[in-house]
Structure 1
């Protein structure tokens, strides 16, 4: 007779079986030698959970099981995810972060399936929400500044003509969006604000040099090209909501640079041409 057919499954027996399943999933995610989960295995684990949370008191282990699932997610983060990220930097860190986040979501999805009867029966917060919250609190809060600064550095490198992995950057920045749990506050406050500030600083420096290096017609062309490139950045890896803010910052810095006022008649031409260019790009 199998465990789930017995009269009662005690907490230690049931959790030992579930833990073995969790360990197997961890090994699979880490690429360690491990066979794939069969549908029968997953359903057996789910039915074990169901049995353990429908037994008569004092053998209804619903709340204790739920807490153990939460603890399992935290343990996975602390023992596996964070150590893999802490010593890495720049693009190596980005690749690790994207992979670890993808693996973590698989773990959360798998645990959500195993615990589906428990969550539905007791009207508890879904493990998907719990998992995202714990990742945000334990991982995102620790690394988001480091990640943000590295992303901005890469953006500036691209502005200087270097090649970067745009697809990787897009995946990293989407994590900022996901951390908002349906809102844009993490992306806007933890990344976008600093990115726009850096953009303003970058183009203010460029304007101070370009106004001396180029004729006014060439300056206009240069500024117009910058707007085009920034629009492309939005299309390739920034969130679409950043576009009007980014273009406004670029246009303001390139138009309002005080050096423009030092050459007779030029300011009117620059203002009219750049404002026109900006309005055109906003409509494309």
Structure 2
């Protein structure tokens, strides 16, 4: 495993195939082509780290981020055009709505996984340039390419089913409600009022009967939450007593409590992905020395966050402890900054960045370059 603190010489074209492999595997999974190809912790960290390396590359940072963002969007567009739309062609009424909901469920699973792999892009590039989030980008593609093509057919199918019920026939109300819920879900993310659009059509075309009934179709749905089990990963609770093994780029294994590991939002995302690989080992692409320092920090701050922790009993004030912690060499400090950013440990990133800023204060650019052994460019 390559240390993330070391610069990579690989280009975007050389690194993208790793992410394309992730996309291909994911599509095969949701399409049922390869049910056994589940993502492991190592897979998740490898894909996330590939995105991180591309986004963190010094002189190509913005260019790589732009390419990644465009590729992310293109992945969904290609999937919709090659798989989603063809599957809906020729289907009528209930069959079309059933297939649409199945495709939407798969699409959300695809969005969930890829947004985890590409999450570093969202934390910095998307936030800085105020671009649509990864979820919004995915939903926009679905809305633009699927909604615009079949919106009329979907509306006609729903109204036809409601007409059938009005005529005394039994219909699948759950199918109608879940379809409306799908449009509502897209509207919630994109701030588009699809739900009221459907209600408006129902009232306009069937004013006498639906003036009171139409809003109840949404409100009465007991199946409004159609989120599949795979997407509710944020609801999974990890046991605080369980241990997890973090593996450095040198191959050394560090066994830590879950609570300590979860100080890293990156690791938390990987754990919540709950891949079926079954291993409790997570590769962390940094040297053993730096990983040991990061774990030391996380252990101390996990301990200090415990309600039963008392500074007078430990004899150490946490702020004093932090000050001692960052009394390290310049290169080690810079590595800690990179690793805190990579692992998304905000308090450690704030601490190390503030320390670097204090060291730079009042110094010339040349002095700063010399201090941190930085290249002139």
Report the TM-score, using the length of structure 1 for normalisation: 0.68
The equivalent of 2:57 in structure 1 is 55
The change in CA–CA distance for 1:234 and 1:138 in structure 2 (over 3 A counts) is closer
* Matched position secondary structure for 1:181: helix
The equivalent of 1:280 in structure 2 is none
Structure with higher helix content: 1
The equivalent of 1:97 in structure 2 is 100
State the Cα distance separating 1:167 from its structure 2 match: 1.2
1:139 aligns with 2:146: yes
The change in CA–CA distance for 1:43 and 1:149 in structure 2 (over 3 A counts) is same
The change in CA–CA distance for 1:131 and 1:175 in structure 2 (over 3 A counts) is same
State the Cα distance separating 1:78 from its structure 2 match: 0.9
The equivalent of 2:14 in structure 1 is 13
* Matched position secondary structure for 1:57: coil
1:23 aligns with 2:24: yes
Give the Cα separation in 2 of the matches to 1:91 and 1:3. 53
Could you report, residue by residue, the CA deviation over 1:246-276 in whole angstroms, capped at 9, with x for unpaired residues? xxxxxxxxxxxxxxxxxxxxxxxxxxxxxxx
Report the TM-score, using the length of structure 2 for normalisation: 0.52
Give the Cα separation in 2 of the matches to 1:92 and 1:3. 51
Q: Which has the higher contact order (CA 8 A, sep 6+)?
A: 2
Q: Give the gaps of 5 or more residues in structure 2.
A: 225-377
The equivalent of 2:194 in structure 1 is 186
State the Cα distance separating 1:202 from its structure 2 match: 6.2
Query: What is the correspondence of 1:118-157 to structure 2 with a 5 Å cutoff?
Result: 118-122=121-125, 123=127, 124-157=131-164
* Matched position secondary structure for 1:163: coil
Give the Cα separation in 1 of the matches to 2:215 and 2:141. 35
Within the candidate set 45, 48, 54, 2:47 is matched to: 45
Given that 2:199 and 2:214 are in contact with CA atoms closer than 8 Å, whether structure 1 keeps it comes out as no
Query: What is the correspondence of 1:74-89 to structure 2 with a 5 Å cutoff?
Result: 74-89=77-92
The change in CA–CA distance for 1:42 and 1:51 in structure 2 (over 3 A counts) is same
Give the Cα separation in 2 of the matches to 1:7 and 1:48. 10
Within the candidate set 166, 172, 175, 1:159 is matched to: 166
Give the Cα separation in 2 of the matches to 1:53 and 1:232. 48
The change in CA–CA distance for 1:61 and 1:166 in structure 2 (over 3 A counts) is same
Between 58-67 and 126-135, report the one with greater CA deviation: 58-67
Number of residue pairs the alignment of both structures matches: 216
Could you report, residue by residue, the CA deviation over 1:62-98 in whole angstroms, capped at 9, with x for unpaired residues? 1111111111111111111111112211111111110
Could you report, residue by residue, the CA deviation over 1:28-79 in whole angstroms, capped at 9, with x for unpaired residues? 0101124111122011100011011111214661111111111111111111
Given that 2:77 and 2:141 are in contact with CA atoms closer than 8 Å, whether structure 1 keeps it comes out as yes
* Matched position secondary structure for 1:18: helix
The change in CA–CA distance for 1:57 and 1:232 in structure 2 (over 3 A counts) is closer
Given that 1:152 and 1:198 are in contact with CA atoms closer than 8 Å, whether structure 2 keeps it comes out as no
Given that 1:169 and 1:237 are in contact with CA atoms closer than 8 Å, whether structure 2 keeps it comes out as no
Could you report, residue by residue, the CA deviation over 1:126-152 in whole angstroms, capped at 9, with x for unpaired residues? 110111111111101111111011101
* Matched position secondary structure for 1:36: coil
Could you report, residue by residue, the CA deviation over 1:148-179 in whole angstroms, capped at 9, with x for unpaired residues? 11101101111122111111111101122123
The equivalent of 2:239 in structure 1 is none
Within the candidate set 93, 105, 109, 1:106 is matched to: 109
The equivalent of 2:204 in structure 1 is 197
* Matched position secondary structure for 2:43: helix
Give the Cα separation in 2 of the matches to 1:112 and 1:90. 32
Given that 1:9 and 1:52 are in contact with CA atoms closer than 8 Å, whether structure 2 keeps it comes out as no
